[in-house]
């Protein structure tokens, strides 16, 4: 058992370095709440000022056992869950009696069922089990004291629901910097094929004057194999750098001086309706954005004026080569990104509303 925190963030699948976890924790701390985080990875990567306890990532059975145990491992009166299995286990813990009186906040930041279409393992029995967990997680999230969703299309029928989109918390991001002399792109996020890894590597191969920094967890065996081949490639190995997952502030320091941020998501059911946090964050640090033609991403880039849309790796490479030969073509895109940042509050309005709502729940629990 831990000491009593006001709020505990529980996750069976997210690393302590997860950016949304950091943003939520910081917002709660700004309102005077003591927060503890129970997550995966290294405790040193957790949010500053929080009590952080971590575990190693396990297989699916170990994850299920871990999720079942986490509600017992905190004495906090209010808990925030970040995963479908975690939401279900926490609601079940309350229904069975031990967690009676505890307030539950379920953070649903992805369409769990649609996301399974992006997972190679989600076939056959594993896919059936995954879809069952997705349904149970959605059922539990709708029965939480507060359902937090990353987009308006998620769980629209939940009775106590607020939207917390993946907008940028500027306190985690450096100010825009002048581009470095040599062309450099950056990608920050989960590293896998469906999020553009193959396309990024192919584009780098065809744009030899560019370098690329990849920051994030390498999430699949196929991605690891690809990056091992890249490392062994005499040309690409020196131009593609893999940094692993880093806490948000450290990760975004690497964006300073880059020319462009890459957002090459495949057109999967989960991504088609989403607005990734990277779109806001690349823009907030003053980068041009190169994105695939997902409808909502295209709409925002057209509004903000700081990006281009490319339908293939070949088009990405062509755009990068064009910028390398004429860097001044990037000037208007960088200026548009800086203009967007100048008009953006340090703390997003939705994040402030989320933190205030959780504080109100916490006060009710303690009274």
Q: Determine what percent of the chain is predicted with pLDDT higher than 90.
A: 78
Residue 315 has pLDDT above 70, yes or no: yes
If asked whether residues 333 and 357 sit together in one domain, one would say no
List, for residues 65-84, the tens digit of each pLDDT value: 999 999 999 999 999 999 99
The answer on 210 and 262 residing in a single domain is: yes
188 and 114 in a common domain = no
| Tokens linked to 275 | 């607005």
φ, ψ for residue 280 (rounded to 5)?
Answer: -65, -45
- Give dist(CA 333, CA 321) in Å, integer: 16
The answer to whether residues 250 and 293 belong to one domain is: yes
Determine the Cα–Cα distance for residues 326 and 70; give it in Å rounded to an integer. Answer: 54
Find the CATH number of the domain harbouring 254. 3.40.50.2000
**Tokens matching residue 312:** 């293939």
Question: Could you tell me if residue 358 is inside a domain?
Answer: yes
Per-residue confidence at 1, pLDDT binned at 50, 70, 90? very low
- Number of domains the chain is built from: 2
Do 216 and 329 share a domain, yes or no?
Answer: yes
In this structure, the answer to whether residues 333 and 190 fall within a common structural domain is yes
* Region of residue 318 (left: phi > 0; alpha: psi -120 to 50; beta: else): alpha
Clarify whether residues 227 and 289 are in a common domain: yes
Distance (Å) of CA 363 to CA 36, 40, 75, 101: 17, 28, 15, 12
Residue 340 has pLDDT above 50, yes or no: yes
pLDDT band at 112 (very low <50, low <70, confident <90, very high): low
Tokens standing for 12? 């069976």
pLDDT attached to residue 269? 80
Q: HSE of 264 in the Cβ direction (CA atoms, 13 Å)?
A: 28
Provide the domain limits for residue 45: 7-165+348-366
Residue 200: HSE in the Cβ half-sphere, 13 Å Cα cutoff: 34
Is 235 among the domain residues?
yes
- For the cut 60, the answer to whether the pLDDT of residue 356 exceeds it is yes
Alpha-carbon torsion (122, 88, 145, 363), positive or negative: negative
Task: Decide if 20 contacts 149 (C-beta within 8 A).
Answer: no
pLDDT tens-digit map of 266-300 = 998 878 888 899 999 999 999 999 999 999 999 99
Does residue 242 sit in the same domain as residue 223?
Answer: yes
Q: Two tokens at 138?
A: 């959605």
**In terms of C-beta density within 10 A (0-12 exposed, 13-18 middle, 19 or more buried), how is residue 44 classed?**
exposed
Angle at 276 between CA 274 and CA 279, to 5 degrees: 130
d(CA 112, CA 174): 32
Confidence of residue 240 (pLDDT cuts 50, 70, 90): very high
Pair (174, 294) in one structural domain = yes
Same structural domain, 132 and 189: no
Q: Closest Cα to residue 141, out of 165, 112, 113, 106?
A: 106
**Per-residue model confidence as pLDDT tens digits over 131-185:** 777 788 899 999 999 999 999 888 888 999 999 998 999 999 999 999 999 999 9
Element (H, E) at 231: helix 221-232
- Cα–Cα distance for residue pair 121/127, rounded to 1 Å: 7
- In this structure, the answer to whether residues 159 and 174 fall within a common structural domain is no
Does residue 134 sit in the same domain as residue 219? no
- Distance separating alpha carbons of residues 323 and 118, to the nearest angstrom: 32
pLDDT at 2: 47
- Cα maximum dimension of the chain: 66
């Amino acid at each position: 058992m831990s000491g009593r925190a006001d709020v505990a963030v529980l996750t069976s699948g997210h690393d302590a370095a997860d950016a949304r976890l950091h943003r939520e924790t910081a917002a709660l701390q700004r309102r005077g709440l003591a927060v503890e985080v129970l997550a995966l990875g290294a405790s040193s990567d957790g949010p500053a000022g929080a009590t952080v306890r971590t575990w190693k990532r396990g297989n699916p059975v170990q994850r299920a056992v871990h999720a079942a145990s986490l509600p017992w491992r905190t004495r906090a009166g209010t808990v925030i869950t970040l995963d479908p299995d975690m939401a279900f286990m926490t609601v079940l813990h309350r229904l069975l009696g031990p967690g009676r009186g505890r307030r539950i906040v379920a953070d649903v930041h992805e369409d769990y069922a649609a996301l399974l279409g992006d997972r190679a393992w989600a076939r056959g029995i594993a896919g059936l089990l995954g879809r069952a967990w997705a349904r149970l997680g959605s059922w539990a999230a709708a029965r939480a004291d507060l359902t937090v969703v990353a987009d308006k299309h998620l769980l629209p029928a939940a009775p106590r629901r607020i939207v917390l989109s993946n907008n940028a918390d500027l306190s985690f991001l450096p100010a825009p910097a002048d581009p470095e002399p040599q062309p450099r792109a950056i990608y920050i996020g989960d590293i896998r094929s469906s999020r553009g890894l193959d396309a990024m590597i192919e584009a780098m191969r065809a744009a030899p004057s560019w370098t690329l920094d990849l920051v994030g967890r390498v999430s699949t065996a196929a991605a690891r194999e690809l990056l091992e081949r890249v490392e062994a490639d005499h040309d690409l190995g020196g131009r593609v750098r893999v940094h692993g997952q880093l806490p948000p502030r450290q990760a975004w320091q690497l964006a300073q001086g880059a020319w462009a941020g890459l957002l090459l998501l495949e057109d999967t059911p989960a991504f088609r309706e989403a607005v990734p946090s990277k779109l806001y964050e690349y823009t907030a640090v003053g980068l041009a954005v190169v994105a695939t033609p997902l409808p909502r991403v295209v709409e925002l880039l057209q509004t903000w004026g700081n990006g281009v849309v490319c339908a293939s790796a070949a088009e990405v490479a062509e755009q990068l080569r064009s910028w390398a030969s004429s860097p001044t073509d990037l000037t208007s895109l960088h200026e548009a990104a800086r203009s967007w940042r100048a008009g953006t509050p340090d703390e997003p309005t939705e994040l402030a509303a989320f933190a205030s709502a959780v504080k109100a729940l916490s006060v009710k629990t303690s009274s």
